[in-house]
Structure 1
Amino acid sequence: MFQSGKELENLFYTEAAFYKLQTYEKIQICRSLVAISRVGAESEGVDALFVLLNPGKCLPLAGEDSIPLLSGEVAELPLMPATPDNTLYQLMRLMERMNWNSVQVINLTDLRTGKFDEYKESQRFMKQYGDSRHTIFSMDRYVELLDCVEQADTVIAGWGTEASIIPAAENAYTILMELEDIKGLSYKTHPLYYHPFPWLQNKCIKWLDDMEAQLKRTAEVV
């Protein structure tokens, strides 16, 4: 079964923490955390923490004008109602299969970019100006990352298979493995993992099938 976005929005609601980050004279929209919760379910912890590459099209329901310019710690930003995107819908489908009530999402970078070329350019720009505030995997945000990992029962990587992200993926993998075992569908090149939403519906279903099987197999061993 491959539920539509409308069906999924009747089952789950989405909140996220957004901020605008000014680096030199450039202001960029960022998203640090997403929380997806089942409607009507009581919170009993976080079933899974997904670690993806970068935020997609998800924005606050109140619009871009509601996003504040960062002036303090990223970890202190409030969650606000948000519109899910295709990737978040895909995570909801897995939640249905696993009977999960709550998951969270973080990314290798908080910078919200639409295309991969924009992602690469944004990373180059931030590196040029020595600004690492956009990544939860920076040393200054380690406590924030630790809190996210410790809340979750499972950590699942899905940051994609592009060779150019390997340095960022290796950094994240090294840090995460010191804290928790990582699950996810491994790509042939380490430490890359297939993204949850590969666009084509048959591939999306395959990711769901394979991820569900891995999680349930792990649960049986435990």
Structure 2
Amino acid sequence: MFQSAKKLENLFNTEAAFYKLQTHGKIHLCRSLAAVRRKGAEIEEEPDALFVLLNPGRCLPVDGEETISMLTGEVEVLPMLQATPDNTMYQLMRLMERMGWNHIEIINLTDVLTGKFEDYLECQEWMKLHHDNRHSIFSIDRYPELLERVEKAGVVIAGWGTKSKIASAAEEANTILWEIAEVKGLRYRQHPLYYHPFPWLQTRCVMWLDDMEEQLKRVGEVV
């Protein structure tokens, strides 16, 4: 089954924490956390899963980008705003339906929203050049925030993609995560890369769902 976006929006709510980050004169739009909750579920319910992806997608505040403020304090205290789901979030909702989950959270290797992979690489170089790591929950200053997200989640699932140029960032994140939790996900042949949840083609999306569901339920049976 491959539910439509319209049907999924009737089942789930999406919210996220956004901020603008200024680094040496450049302003970047960022998202530190996204959450998907089943409508009617308990608000206080802890996440069934924490997904760790590469960078935020097209999920933006329902009320528009003008509602996003410049970062002046700590990232972890940002308010959660109603947000519009993107294709990746719809895909994760489909997995939630298969698993019977009510609540998931999503973090990324970088908080910066970039539309193209080339933009992602350029942004990361800019941040490194100006020694600004505030955009990454995997930076040492944001470790308590990462630890809280991981410890609350029922399972941690990596899906940051298979591009070799992210291997260094993926290795760093993978090492940190494995120190505090077991990491699930569909492994690519190059360690520590993991297949992204939304590979665009519907047939491949269904394959990811099938394989991820099988892995998660197999783990559940062992426990």
TM-score range relative to shorter protein? over 0.9
Q: Report 1:42-57 matches (<5 A).
A: 42=42, 43-57=44-58
Matched residue, 1:157? 158
The alpha carbon displacement at 1:45 in A equals 1.3
Quick check: 1:67 aligned with 2:68? yes
The alpha carbon displacement at 1:29 in A equals 0.1
Q: Report 1:91-130 matches (<5 A).
A: 91-130=92-131
Report the 3-state secondary structure (helix = DSSP H, G, I; strand = E; otherwise coil) of the residue aligned with 1:10. Answer: helix
Q: Deviations over 1:74-124 (max 9, x none)?
A: 001010000000000000000000000000000000000001000000001
Q: Which runs of 5+ in 2 are unaligned?
A: none
Structure 1: distance between partners of 2:114 and 2:153: 26
Letter in 2 for 1:138: S
Give the TM-score, by structure 1 length.
0.99
Structure 2: distance between partners of 1:151 and 1:80: 20
The alpha carbon displacement at 1:44 in A equals 2.5
Q: Deviations over 1:169-194 (max 9, x none)?
A: 00000000000000000000000000
Give the TM-score, by structure 2 length.
0.99
Report the 3-state secondary structure (helix = DSSP H, G, I; strand = E; otherwise coil) of the residue aligned with 1:192. Answer: coil
Matched residue, 2:145? 144
Quote the sequence identity (%): 66
Structure 1: distance between partners of 2:96 and 2:142: 28
How much is the aligned-residue C-alpha RMSD, in angstroms? 0.5
Letter in 2 for 1:119: Y
Letter in 1 for 2:167: I
Structure 2: distance between partners of 1:171 and 1:113: 21
Quick check: 1:29 aligned with 2:29? yes
Matched residue, 2:40? 40
The alpha carbon displacement at 1:141 in A equals 0.2
Structure 1: distance between partners of 2:94 and 2:196: 14
Aligned residue pairs total 222
Structure 2: distance between partners of 1:164 and 1:75: 28
Report the 3-state secondary structure (helix = DSSP H, G, I; strand = E; otherwise coil) of the residue aligned with 1:150. Answer: helix
Structure 2: distance between partners of 1:52 and 1:126: 19
Q: Which runs of 5+ in 1 are unaligned?
A: none
Matched residue, 2:211? 210
